[in-house]
Amino acid sequence: MREHDFPAPQRRGRGKSRFDDDEPYFLKRGRPAEPVLAQPDDEPEPEPEDRWSSWDEAVHGPEPHPAWLVTELAAKDTELGVLKTGKEADVHLVRRAVPDTDRSCLLAAKRYRDAQHRLFHRDAGYLEGRRVRRSRENRAMAGRTAFGRQMIAGQWAAAEFAALARLWEIGAASGRIAVPYPVQLLGTELMLEFVGDAEAGQAAPRLAQVRPDDAELRDLWEQLVDALVVLARAGYAHGDLSPYNLLVHRGRLVMIDLPQVVDVVANPQGPEFLARDVRVVGTWFAARGLPAGTADPAELTELLLREAGIR
């Protein structure tokens, strides 16, 4: 069994500097985040909901599939609770298991909100450079019709799945970047490897939560630079990189939340997204004591643009 996850970023608070903008209750005053797996004390906890595995209906992640992954069609998926709520998607903890056997694994099921409940305030910039073949779909997306909004939701899920699949293969071969294994894609539901303590159902901490010593801080920075170089060589910028969508699991930096991944060549704003990613994470590392010369955002941005073939 593997152990992995998707914790939530934070909302910008008035008068406070924050790095991301999802629900604020998930991290408060620097206290460790915990998965929201239980109902409030004054409400009865529902029984876990079972359904047959959707493996046979979905698009699958890269082969060979990891040994821990349950792919048997006799498996059932059991809903264990909510790991994260956000503006564009909710993430649920799911156990996939074959009844009457010891075959099971934990998965993070990321479900993009339907057209009536999603917020598309950031779509325009990120979707530049992404096109579908038929003009009807392009017009609907541009006009934000109900059909177009559903198309956009599918694009976010598909873009994240494709980016994770490519980066996972690169990471498996090079060891220079770590992302959760993308298990499957079905419509606007993306199932991923859970990152964390599987026995306790506890998510791995986000970078924003850890307090590394000097040596650990430098090691994490070096891991991050490696990961950003891999992204740039693949033609990507994360697009929304912050200490809240980087996990630290057993000393390894794991990059998550890539629906807004940007093609730095096809998107006219690609270099700006890349530069912002570097500036945000560089500011966090510098505030934790990394020497300024080590985390120079301008130098790193130039390096990444060269790696992407833009300079």
Tokens at 37, concatenated:
């797996």
Q: Do 208 and 198 fall into the same domain?
A: no
Q: Do 237 and 121 fall into the same domain?
A: no
CB 62 within 8 A of CB 184: no
Residue 193's closest CA among 224, 161, 223, 150?
161
User: Which is higher by pLDDT, 55 or 292?
Assistant: 55
Q: Do 67 and 211 fall into the same domain?
A: no
Q: Do 135 and 279 fall into the same domain?
A: no
Domain-terminating residue out of 203, 225, 247: 203
Q: Do 195 and 212 fall into the same domain?
A: no
The average confidence (pLDDT) of the chain is: 80
**Tally of domains within the chain:** 2
Helix (H) or strand (E) holding 273: helix 270-287
Helix (H) or strand (E) holding 228: helix 214-233
Q: Do 296 and 159 fall into the same domain?
A: no
The whole domain housing 127 covers 48-203
Q: Do 113 and 209 fall into the same domain?
A: no
Q: Do 72 and 211 fall into the same domain?
A: no
Domain-terminating residue out of 175, 203, 231: 203
Report if residue 196 sits inside a domain.
Answer: yes
Report if residue 38 sits inside a domain.
Answer: no
Q: For residue 230, give the CATH number of its domain.
A: 1.10.510.10
Name residues whose C-beta falls within 8 Å of residue 205's C-beta, 6 or more positions apart in sequence.
Answer: 7, 32, 33, 247, 248
**pLDDT 10s digits, 142-156:** 444 444 555 566 788
Single pTM value for the model: 0.77
Domain-terminating residue out of 184, 203, 222: 203
Tokens at 45, concatenated:
């906890």
Name residues whose C-beta falls within 8 Å of residue 231's C-beta, 6 or more positions apart in sequence.
Answer: 167, 177, 237, 238, 304
**297 in helix, strand or coil?**
helix
Q: What is the pLDDT of residue 151?
A: 59
**pLDDT 10s digits, 255-292:** 999 988 999 999 999 999 999 999 999 999 999 999 87
